[in-house]
Structure 1
Amino acid sequence: MSGPTATRTNPVTATRRARIGDRVTAAGRGAVLFLLTLPAMAAFGAVVLAMALMSVGIGLLLVPPAIIVLRRVADQRRRLAHAWQGIEVPSPYRPEPAEHRGGAAARVRHCLSVLRDPATWRDLLWSITDPVIGAALALLPIALILEGIYGFVITALWGPLTQAGLRDWYLFVHVTPANAGTAWATSAIGAALVVAGLGCAPALLRVNGRWARLLLAPTAAATMARRVQHLTETRADAVDTNAAELRRIERDLHDGAQSRLVVMGMNLNAAARLLERDPETARNLLLEARDSSAKALTEIRDLVRGIHPPVLADRGLVDAVRALALDSALPVEVRADPVGRLEAPLEAAAYFAIAEVLTNAAKHSRAERVRIEIHHGDGVLRMAVTDDGIGGASISAGTGLRGIERRLATFDGIIAVSSPHGGPTVVTMELPCASSSPKTSTSSGTA
């Protein structure tokens, strides 16, 4: 019997190869981090030069651009720390004043603003110390590996090298043409150095990331200031949103139910006057009053549902979303974990965020199907709404998604939109929360 022979990779061998590959990658990334110290030093020199020129005035114009360059280099290091070492280093900078593009006085204020930012001075400290400490951490694995490889080169070419007088010592081993054993000793030492370099590369890369976080992460005071600023902005958004909601409720009541109730009262008064002398007309007026009362009741129910749907208050978020899906113009599939009952404001924020995304999909996406996924774990409520429409949705392109972003930000929530042209569109939302009580609900379903 003949045929192709299937080869299977030994799992242990594959794991070893993967580990070696990770260590080689870590060493290479260390070399990249060393190269990043060069633009950091150049940016440091530019900032120092611009500060020196402040005495003659031109420095006021040069300092902000130089600091921006330095910040971009530092931001790149922050991104690499997160991507390569899994270390989150938030941006620590204060927001720039909006009026810095005015006249000379505004430019002076802008220059003083960036100089007063503590993060600027921490960036300068990083840019002058990282070429020493960071470079040492980054280059040590590469130096060990290259020195080890040189040991193999000596083993292979020890004769010509020593005869040419290039070098006759390898670390502590004296390599001579008369003693071939010393050349083979260099190979053993070189192998040990290569192993040591590859072995320490991941650990030193992590230490390098922690070193970057030590200087480039925001201080506790800066974190608190940004937190206060965020809370101030979200509180202002919440106040504006509530005021707009109250105006909408007042307008809907005035134009809808209130008008119908006024008409109903007028019809009842007229019917009371005509009841004895014109019973038929009175009867018609009473029928109109009955219709007006039914329509007013429907409008009030719709208004209450828009404020806080009864099914949301009675059954919780998942069942409220399923009820929302049943009323949608599109086929909607709902997949949800048993979320339980959340705090009422959080449930309302999550419900209306999903409702807004679903409305946008029905109006603009030209989708044929929508899928809603709701998961709760680790104190975070995750919601994803996916449609198979034409794509092109963006938070910056419309007020709907921007309003959702403001609504979620009030509770420290976030929204992310992935919507390439041609689709699909995936809107992912997260809210930090805790489930207060379990609630029995089906885990998935199609509405």
Structure 2
Amino acid sequence: MAVTSVRAEGVRVLAGRTLRAAGGAVAELAGGLGTAATAFGLLLLLAVTAVTAPLGVGMLLAPLALRALHALAGRERARLGRRGPEVIAPGPPPTRLRLALTDPTTRRELRWLLRHGTLGLLLGLLGVLLPLSAVRDTLFPLYWRFMPENLTATSFGYGVAHSWADAFAVCMLGIGSAAVILGLTPGMARLQADPGRRLLAAGPDTDLSLRVAELTATRAAALDAHATELRRIERALHDGTQNRLVSVTVLLGAARRQVARDPSRADEILERAQSAAEQALAELRTVSRSILPPVLDDRGLAGALSGLAAESPVPCRIDVDAPERCAASVEATAYFVVAEALTNVAKHSGADRATVAVRARGGRLTLTVTDDGRGGADSAGGSGLTGIRRRVAAHDGTLRLTSPAGGPTTLEVELPCGT
């Protein structure tokens, strides 16, 4: 009986992972469809530019086409970076036609454009149409009797249902489409992203001065965040624990003087001293936990975030999918980000509920904190968001805040998992 339950649990876990992988792949294919459709249009523009170049019109269109190419390549790098490891951009490519024709970056971007505007477009269309056809055909027996006669029965454009047997045959096609989605879409997503990861990334001979400048700024942010954290700890110790300990010293001196005069009065003072000492110990424990929460070592990131959700004044749901542990500093930063975000939700949003989703994919840890509050949060203001931004920048991560007036507010943070 125990073996059966273990097998059933294993099947459920495997099914959940397969569904999540397929859902993520479909979302990635759909996201790639947007840049692929734009790439196809840009291919047509480049073709028109080449054909009309002898007439002089193409020479006028060439700078516009080059700028559009570089902008689209930047969009694709950002998209791929959100779904996996960061695609490091090379230095700024030239926009003058003569220099662009011999520039390695521009030529690599053109090769990517050709592949993404053709094969990437096809894969993106399949990633969008396959789920639609799977739903339509699987549910076909529920509505085929209400359809007009001679209407195509399947999503693939053939066959007309005349009986229940035909309707269930269409349903089998829908189930087959669902099986294709579960089995093939992860590979399709990788195939769609592969040209971008190979051709849009900086090559070994590329000038990485921009990347060096970015890392220099990141290092400065890390030092700034470290200094800010030290000041916070110093203030907490000075304003809280130190004052409590001074109070304990004063009360012990007063109790010592009262022993000979009024022992009952001395007992009362000693009780106050004990209470102050306990408060000082509690504050010291709180400060030490804020440096590196021990719950991360004891229960991992999922358990630590569950503890934060349980203590949050706003009802909060935690969804963690991080099969592997990240570096301790990264997990501590993730814990701080969620703790600060939930504090901001409770203080400023007026939300009824919040959701924290954590995903570890492709060497990156993604945190998404969403609430249904009033919105209007400003990423440039507020000490809480500034602290989050500094901590994230110290790990070379990214932060995005979406908070329209009326809500909802979504804070998305990406961190490299580290080693």
TM-score tier after normalising by the smaller chain length: 0.5 to 0.7
Match of 2:46 among 17, 30, 33: 33
Asked if the contact 2:375–2:409 (Cα under 8 Å) also holds between the matched residues in 1, the reply is yes
Match of 1:79 in 2: 71
Match of 2:221 among 228, 233, 237: 237
CA distance, structure 1, for counterparts of residue 94 and residue 204 of structure 2: 16
Asked if the contact 2:340–2:384 (Cα under 8 Å) also holds between the matched residues in 1, the reply is yes
Match of 1:258 in 2: 242
Match of 1:368 in 2: 352
Shift of 1:124: 5.2
SS of 1:426's equivalent?
A: strand
Shift of 1:409: 2.4
1:248 aligns with 2:232: yes
Asked if the contact 2:315–2:353 (Cα under 8 Å) also holds between the matched residues in 1, the reply is yes
AA partner of residue 69 (structure 2): R
Shift of 1:410: 2.1
CA distance, structure 2, for counterparts of residue 251 and residue 351 of structure 1: 21
AA partner of residue 329 (structure 1): P
CA distance, structure 1, for counterparts of residue 380 and residue 98 of structure 2: 34
SS of 1:416's equivalent?
A: strand
Residues 278 and 313 of structure 1, relative CA distance in 2, 3 Å threshold: same
Match of 1:181 in 2: none
Residues 360 and 276 of structure 1, relative CA distance in 2, 3 Å threshold: same
Q: How does 1:13-412 map to 2 (within 5 A)?
A: 29-34=42-47, 41-42=59-60, 74-81=66-73, 92-93=90-91, 119-120=93-94, 125-126=99-100, 220=204, 223-412=207-396
Shift of 1:395: 2.5
Asked if the contact 1:371–1:386 (Cα under 8 Å) also holds between the matched residues in 2, the reply is yes
AA partner of residue 70 (structure 2): R
CA distance, structure 1, for counterparts of residue 80 and residue 330 of structure 2: 30
CA distance, structure 2, for counterparts of residue 309 and residue 370 of structure 1: 22
Residues 81 and 252 of structure 1, relative CA distance in 2, 3 Å threshold: closer
AA partner of residue 370 (structure 1): A
Percent of aligned positions that are identical: 42
Tell which has more relative contact order, 1 or 2 (C-alpha 8 A, sep 6+). Answer: 2
RMSD: 4.2
Shift of 1:24: 11
Asked if the contact 1:75–1:91 (Cα under 8 Å) also holds between the matched residues in 2, the reply is no
Residues 327 and 83 of structure 1, relative CA distance in 2, 3 Å threshold: closer
CA distance, structure 1, for counterparts of residue 306 and residue 347 of structure 2: 19
CA distance, structure 1, for counterparts of residue 403 and residue 49 of structure 2: 34
Which whole-Å deviations, capped at 9, do the CAs of 1:130-171 have from their partners, x for residues lacking one?
99xx7xx99xxxxxxxxxxxxxxxxxxxxxxxxxxxxxxxxx
Which whole-Å deviations, capped at 9, do the CAs of 1:407-447 have from their partners, x for residues lacking one?
1222222222233332222222222216x8xxxxxxxxxxx
AA partner of residue 45 (structure 2): V
Asked if the contact 1:78–1:90 (Cα under 8 Å) also holds between the matched residues in 2, the reply is no
SS of 1:261's equivalent?
A: helix
Residues 82 and 232 of structure 1, relative CA distance in 2, 3 Å threshold: closer
Shift of 1:399: 4.5
Gaps of 5+ in 1: 1-22, 45-69, 95-118, 139-209, 437-447
Match of 1:422 in 2: 406
TM-score (norm 1): 0.55
Shift of 1:361: 1.8
AA partner of residue 329 (structure 2): P
* Count, aligned residues: 291
CA distance, structure 2, for counterparts of residue 380 and residue 87 of structure 1: 12
Residues 259 and 73 of structure 1, relative CA distance in 2, 3 Å threshold: farther
SS of 1:334's equivalent?
A: strand
CA distance, structure 2, for counterparts of residue 41 and residue 33 of structure 1: 11
Whose Rg is larger? 1
Shift of 1:316: 1.5
